[in-house]
Structure 1
């Protein structure tokens, strides 16, 4: 059960995961040790799954972001496992979701350029035996950055 202080703590950490117990305590009106214990409890419970740095893909040479929809030839468990194993081997695929509707999977990918995206689609995804169809949308601009979860 989360109380208002837990929600404020989670909100603060979503904005800046590097806050120290001292910083959290000051923001929440708690002692640093109380804030640290609350954070540790939320980590231990699995509510806080980890911390990461947000990197600039363009500065890393990843100029192309795309969403790729994939339809499978059939929906058996072995086809799904085989396809997700393929996804696990591809660093370009930064996230993947299973969907309802026409597409079975939605992939978020980052590539250095259009030829690299083309190779991913034509040399990796389409030749896979479980894949029937691939459709891609190239991101022109991200008008709203990835946001914290609503609390």
Structure 2
């Protein structure tokens, strides 16, 4: 699949929407210096191309109630393709696993888990071990404080892609 060619206005649309998902179409058009119809057409193009995967609220979990965020590095028992596929299918079913990345290096996956407390996290891990989804070893890193959480620098990423 070929990469969609983006210009500075497309990047501006992505940047504004990533920070202000509820912005009106008219306000978005003004922010990126386009009239509403061309802005709307670009937005639809970005959605159809899969660059915009959805719109979400940035919810303060701390204000919602007690919770724990845990990062977990995972090693699988086997490194066959079907083992990776089985693990990925299984992880998709656990709603507490809010993100999971296949990574290079000493571990196979990095998961982000959000749950009520450490006991709930341990119950999740116990269930994963019991389910025999190929998890050989895991290492737990509990988040004690959020220091920074922001959107990617779209303009810098676009500039780097344009040079390639």
Q: When the two structures are superposed, what TM-score results if normalisation uses the length of structure 1?
A: 0.89
**Cα deviation 1:124-150 (Å, max 9, x = unaligned):** 233325121111000011111132343
SS in 2 for 1:12: helix
Task: Give the number of equivalent residue pairs.
Answer: 150
Q: Partner residue of 1:126?
A: 129
d(CA) in 2 for partners of 1:29 and 1:101? 44
* The structure with more helix, counted as a fraction of residues: 2
Q: Secondary structure at the match of 1:66?
A: strand
Tell me if 1:36 matches 2:37.
Answer: no
**Mind listing any 5+ residue stretches in structure 2 that lack a counterpart?**
156-164
Q: Which residue of structure 2 lines up, in the alignment, with residue 116 of structure 1?
A: 120
Deviating 4+ runs (over 4 angstroms): none
Please report the RMSD computed on the Cα atoms of aligned residues, expressed in angstroms.
Answer: 1.7
Structure 1 residue runs without a partner (length 5+):
none
Conserved? CA contact 2:70–2:140, under 8 Å: yes
Q: Are residues 1:138 and 2:150 paired?
A: no
Please state how far the C-alpha of 1:24 moved relative to its aligned partner: 1.3
Q: Is the 8 A contact 2:71 2:111 kept in 1?
A: yes
* Counterpart-to-counterpart distance in 1, 2:66 and 2:115: 5
Query: Matches of 2:150 and 2:32 in 1, distance apart?
Result: 25
TM-fit CA distance, 1:73: 1.0
Shift of residue 29, structure 1, vs aligned partner: 2.1
